[in-house]
Amino acid sequence: MSPLKIFLASFLVNNIVLMRYIGLCPFFGVSTRFSTSFGMGMAVIFVMTLATLVTYLLYHLFLLPLNLLFLRTAVFILVIASLVQLIEMFMKKSFRALYSAMGIYLPLITTNCAILACTFLVIDYKYSLLNALIFALGTSLGFTFVILLFSAIRERLEYAEISPAFKGYTIAFISAALVSLGFLGFAGLFGISL
């Protein structure tokens, strides 16, 4: 697949939230406000791209040659968590503005399934390093796009007349399902399959 197709596929067709149903906790947790969604989206773009780069190198330089594939999950989580911790410290000291823009979401997103899923997927798809990074960027941008889209819907939902039985997360899940149905329309174009 060409890099452009990989990007579009990960961004829209195989959108991580609406098509793969991964990373739903931040998707519902912080999508109540447009501004917080933006912070979360930025943090996801940053962490996902970086984590994919590091774990990809680690996988191909250590795990594969040593035949230790069963350690994949443990090693990846360990590396991603400490890496983000390190960068957070560095950013807090040197890039104050960037740090306050991402805020609390930077450490929060480390242990999210979306990040881990992305690092696994690029390995399962047997991508080259460049393609892996494009995939990570597309996936994280897709996440940001969808969470911003959805936060706009939820800000509107707050003022809507909703029956008490459907209030809160219930109506949020139903709306998300409808948006997901809309995204299903992209599935006919092209997509990534193993």
Partner 1 sequence: MSPDLLFKAVALLGGLGFLLGLVLTFAATRFRLKRDEKEEAILSVLPNANCGACGFPGCAGFAESVARGEADPFGCPVSDAETREKIAQILGIESKPKEREIAVLICQGGEKECGRRFNLWGEKDCRSVALLHSGDKECPYACLGYGHCVKVCPFSAIRMGENSLPVIDEEKCTGCGICVRECPKKVLRLLPKSKLVYLACVSPEKGKEVRDKCSVGCFACGICVKVCPYSALKMENNLPVMDFSLCTDCGICVHKCPTKSYRDRAKARPYAMISTACNGCGECVKVCQFKAIEGKPQERHRVIIEKCIGCGECFKVCPIKAITMVGALGYAYK
Q: Which is nearer to partner 1, 1 or 101 (CB)?
A: 101
Q: Which is nearer to partner 1, 1 or 81 (CB)?
A: 81
In the bound complex, what is the minimum distance in angstroms from residue 174's beta carbon to partner 1?
A: 16
Residue 10: Cβ-neighbour burial (10 angstroms; 0-12, 13-18, 19+): buried
Torsion sign across C-alpha atoms 107, 112, 115, 116:
positive
Q: Which is nearer to partner 1, 86 or 174 (CB)?
A: 86
In the bound complex, what is the minimum distance in angstroms from residue 45's beta carbon to partner 1?
A: 22
In the bound complex, what is the minimum distance in angstroms from residue 141's beta carbon to partner 1?
A: 27
DSSP at 186? G
One DSSP character per residue, 121-169 reads: HHHHTT--HHHHHHHHHHHHHHHHHHHHHHHHHHHHHTTS---GGGTTH
In the bound complex, what is the minimum distance in angstroms from residue 129's beta carbon to partner 1?
A: 20
In the bound complex, what is the minimum distance in angstroms from residue 59's beta carbon to partner 1?
A: 12
CB 97 within 8 A of CB 126: no
* CA 91 vs CA 80, 85, 88, 96, 153: distances in Å: 16, 10, 5, 6, 32
DSSP at 33? S
Residues at the site binding partner 1, with contacts judged by CB under 8 A: 62-63, 66-68, 70-71, 74-75, 78-79, 82, 85-86, 89-90, 92-94, 159-163
Residue with tokens 């706009």: 152
Q: Which is nearer to partner 1, 75 or 192 (CB)?
A: 75
Q: Which is nearer to partner 1, 58 or 149 (CB)?
A: 58
